[in-house]
A and B are shown apart, each in its own frame.
Chain A
Amino acid sequence: MRRIPGDGHSVTPQLIRDHGRQLARLDVAGHRAGELAAEVDRLNNAVLDGATRLDFNDEPARFTETLLALRETKSR
């Protein structure tokens, strides 16, 4: 799979409507599909841009571990 750089317009209203109908069992009206396309695009790209920080060994439980570890560092 080849990485495609985001151009900020990768999510279209049609994609939202198709995805809603075929994968989420939701009908999305045309006007709303346009708004959702912009919102999903913004959120998705923010995460993908930030994901360059991630490591293969990351997992959700690391968050609580980090909260506790950073507190303990201070208390020492």
Chain B
Amino acid sequence: MTDTDVLNLSLSAVADGIRRKKFSSVEVTRACLERAARVQPALNCFIAIEGDAALKAARKADQARKRGAGLGLLHGVPLAHKDMFYRAGKISTGGSKILRDYRPGVTATVVERLAAAGAIWLGNLNMAEFAANPTGHNDHWGHCRNPWNPAHITGGSSSGSGSAVGARVCYGALGSDTGGSVRLPAAACGVVGLKPTYGLVSRYGILPRSWSQDTVGPLTRTVRDCARMTRVIAGADARDPTCVQEPAVDYEAALAGRIKGLRIGVPVNHYYDGATDDVRKRMAESLAVFKSLGARIIEMKVPDPQEIFLLSATVSQSEAATMHGPWIRTRPRDYSLYVRSRMEAGFHIPVTTYLQAINLRAHLLAEFMRAVYAKVDLLHTPVMVMPPPTIAETEPKGSGDVAGIVSRITRNTRPTNYLGLPALSVPAGFSKDGLPIAFQLMGRPFSEALIFRAAHLYQQETDWHIRMPSL
């Protein structure tokens, strides 16, 4: 098997291959590191590559396998992560200038769980500064670039996670999603990305963006891989009081089954506004696949996502202004225009308004559930209404463009974060210019197993997820 063959394997396949001694973790890790070195100049998907440490960990993994130790679900599998998941004593920049040398004192729960499952840490991936823009621009560490066309954005804020997984540099990556930051790079880079239900995955030890809406989710090439990583990282964590006190589900086992009779809702309002012909065509094709699998497609009007969008922005701006206030007052020039613009309003929103926006969440969630999930099991929408634009097109030229750029890109993703609901971005084909297009499946609280099953069956009928970019 050549290095290219190995790199093209899914996470699950490479884990099984290591377990069955078809190849070693050292061989796989070395192939990933060579690929990383080759694509980094074009994509800038890494902030730091930890080659020596990764190979050392891979050798340990191979020794453990040799002596017959119990092997975890990710034993010997190279992963890389958005540079905001803390490891005690190791630099975690958050994609920022301010935290360039920051060494947190704690390790994130999700990092501990991946390590316990045997995963190898290849390096720290590029990201939007402080997880605060949806494009992948980064004035401090350089813009991250799309593996399908480096002139185009990766989506953000988990830009390096989308780019690296799409480019076959690693088999999976963690990202965070506060307004679409997992789903947007997954969609733009042609990979799968999960925004889990709020509280399913621990936020302990991650750089915050908006405490009330932050979620942690994996980006992978296949739905099965995403289910496996989610099984590893999900579940109760006493160190995160917002985490639900229940064990993780075996999401991979839940892939087995059918979706005959499943009701899939398609919104007739908001979600297709401004959609390009390419996007409309791919959405229709994907719905036809679900129909062929026995699902019922039901067109419906959903509660006004624009109201939810504004409430979500009120919460995220207020919380970001609260946590960044001391630095904004003392080091304003160390922030990019993108980031400053996305929190400044938060300094001027009355605290009573913020708390009302927080208290409205339960009401709007209940209304949304009655209006939507009493009638359908899942919602299907485009992740973005256009293929990923170019980096130049989304560069803010003045402070006024930022809000417009952000709202065009995040209009279909942000409402889900305010409601706390799960959503999975799934590759659905390409534009006429060869850029990835994706749909998202959204569901009831903690319905990840059903979402994974539907998306997995879709991937059994299509081959978008196994196509690779030519780099």
Contacts and interface: CB of A to CB of B under 8 A. Distances in A.
Majority secondary structure of chain A interface residues (helix, strand, loop or mixed): helix
A25 B345 contact: no
Contact of A60 (B307, B358, B447): B358
A4 interface: no
A39 B356 CA distance: 18
Interface in B336-377: 344-345, 347-350, 353, 355-366, 369, 373
A59 B199 CA distance: 17
A35 B400 contact: yes
A67 B447 CA distance: 11
A40 B349 contact: yes
Interface string A56-76: 001110111111101100100
A42 B361 CA distance: 18
Given A32-B344, A51-B356, A43 B314 contact: yes
B445 A47 contact: no
Contacts of A63: 358, 361-362, 365, 420
Contacts of A19: 347-348
Contacts of B203: none
A46 B354 CA distance: 11
Given A44-B353, A53-B363, A68 B445 contact: yes
A48 interface: yes
A60 to B, nearest CB: 5
A35 B325 CA distance: 19
A4 to B, nearest CB: 14
B328 interface: yes
B310 interface: yes
A17 B313 CA distance: 21
B206 interface: no
A60 B359 contact: yes
The interface size bin for chain B is: 35 or more
Contacts of B369: 70
Given A20-B348, A39-B403, A65 B360 contact: no
Contacts of A28: 344
B444 interface: yes
A54 interface: yes
B31 interface: no
B345 A36 contact: yes
Contacts of A58: 359, 362-363
B244 A68 contact: yes
A16 B242 CA distance: 34
A24 interface: yes
A53 B360 contact: yes
A42 B199 CA distance: 29
Contact of A54 (B310, B350, B356, B365): B356
A54 to B, nearest CB: 6
Contacts of B420: 63-64, 67
Given A50-B356, A51-B356, A68-B244, 12 more contacts: A26-B347, A36-B344, A43-B313, A46-B310, A50-B364, A51-B360, A53-B360, A58-B359, A63-B420, A67-B198, A70-B365, A71-B447
Closest 5 CB pairs of A and B: A46-B310, A62-B362, A58-B359, A66-B362, A67-B445
